[in-house]
Amino acid sequence: MYETLCTPRIPDEAAMARCRARWDGVAKPLNGLGQLEDIICRMAGLTGTDEVCLDPKSVLVLCADNGVVARGVTQSDASVTAAVARSIAMGRGNVCRMAEVAGARVIPVDVGMEAEVDHPGILVRKIMRGTRDISRGPAMEKSQALALIRAGMELVRERKELGDRLIATGEMGIGNTTTSSAMASVLLGMPPQRMTGRGAGLPPEKLRHKIRVIDEAIRVNDLDPNDPLDVLHKLGGCDIAAMAGVCLGGARYGVPILLDGFISGVAALVALLVCPGAKHALFATHVSREPAGRLVLDALGLRPLVYADMALGEGTGAVTVMPMLDMALAVYKSGSTFKDIQISAYKRFSEGS
């Protein structure tokens, strides 16, 4: 249905084979670094070279407001989105402190905040000033959702031209666990009660209200669960749409994309339903403690690296694994080989040998 939206790169099988052979030459048990080896090999296939490089790195934090906040589904009001975006732009956000350790640049991007935050550190790609209340009707027009997706893809192109080799997704938007839970419920065909969590810390009665609002949103919108863009423009947020575009951009331009938690997982699900080949560019980092976090990863067919009960957002979960990847790459590039230490290499055997 949306084949022309993104033409993904086909993984380079030869580069992956060279990468695997190089791993097997390092003096360690075969697959001794487990998923870390697999990820580096997948990145070799995506980028077309076994000389994998992960620097420079960046974190795109997509910032947007959600009209459903007016229904009292959050502990904070919409003004917090702009306040946190400004804090990130000033280098004071939680993700900024973590990214500094990981050697990544953090880029807050206004794709749909209500407020105009005047700060040079915020990249403005605003398509609209927040979405409408999804419990009363569609969040946005389909044309706006498509514009946001294309904006996300363009961000990846720009970052690649500036030299970035690895991009992490992040988000900042009060109310976006409501929009993402609503979308996940429809796309995965599961009840909102199973897909909805406490977000930033709702008490039980507020959580029940949040679920009721999501039920209303699903009921009042004439949804086609087989059309991901229909679900996106009626139930989603500007941040989710732009992150879906980042996922598709990674596939088009050959840039590995580190997914953060539940919300970016929902965005990735949209990307894969639009373009299944986008999966080659996507890498799960951690399992969010939102109830549907693991369910979304299972639907994506991706395995996370970290189980840390995180639910902070901003891209912090994705940044957490960056040092792990750097350490794996150090072994890949500079680890002792079997020849170096003069011992016989391990051999691979087929199952049943």
Q: Catalytic residues, which ones? A: 314
- Give the bridge partners for 57, in sequence order: 104, 166
**How many Cβ atoms from other residues are within 10 Å of residue 302's Cβ?**
17
Residue 37, token pair as written in the block: 């080896």
Q: Find out whether 63 and 81 touch, Cβ atoms under 8 Å.
A: yes
CA distances from 73 to 70, 198, 218 (A): 8, 9, 15
Query: What whole-number distance in Å separates Cα of residue 66 and Cα of residue 230?
Result: 17
- In 3D, which of 289, 299, 302, 290 has the Cα closest to residue 256? 302
- In 3D, which of 145, 105, 177, 139 has the Cα closest to residue 271? 145
DSSP 137: S
